[in-house]
Amino acid sequence: MLYYSSSESETEHIASNLALSAQPGAVYCLRGELGAGKTVFARGFARGLGIAGKITSPTFCIVNEYRTGRLPFFHFDAYRVNAEEMLGIGIEDYFGDGICLIEWAGKIANLMPENAVWVDITVSEGGRHVNIST
């Protein structure tokens, strides 16, 4: 599925709609350059799960856990780590009853389950293209 977004609110809306159909155990892998809108997408996704409050990128803590929505939501950022470090924090233990959304997932693609959903966000003149694929 390919979407076009001309604003943060549109990107959030795309993500929120995707979250409405998210099932337990789903893993969403975000790719895009710095500033592409990965954290904006994550914020919209959290809203779609019914999570209120501030959603920030877990750049330094690696994972933020939210348990107040329809499903547990585990928001990862792999920008500062490698696959070995992600295994060390137990990323595979998170693949289960909740939803995992991983910013910079391309850095650890070999750890992602076969059924992961890939979300590529690319900057274009005046907006973003959001490509969602399995």
* Total domains, the chain: 1
Q: How far apart are CA 10 and CA 16, in angstroms?
A: 10
Residue keyed to tokens 């959304």:
101
User: Which range marks the domain in which residue 61 is found?
Assistant: 2-133
What CATH number does residue 39 fall under?
Answer: 3.40.50.300
20 pLDDT band (50/70/90 cuts)?
Answer: very high
Query: What is residue 125's predicted lDDT score, i.e. its pLDDT?
Result: 87
Query: What is residue 97's predicted lDDT score, i.e. its pLDDT?
Result: 86
pTM listed for this prediction: 0.94
Residue 19's contacts (CB-CB under 8 Å, 6 or more residues apart) are 44, 45, 46, 47, 48, 49, 99
50 pLDDT band (50/70/90 cuts)?
Answer: very high
* DSSP string computed for 108-124: GGGGS-TTPEEEEEEEE
Question: Is the pLDDT reported for residue 94 higher than 90?
Answer: yes
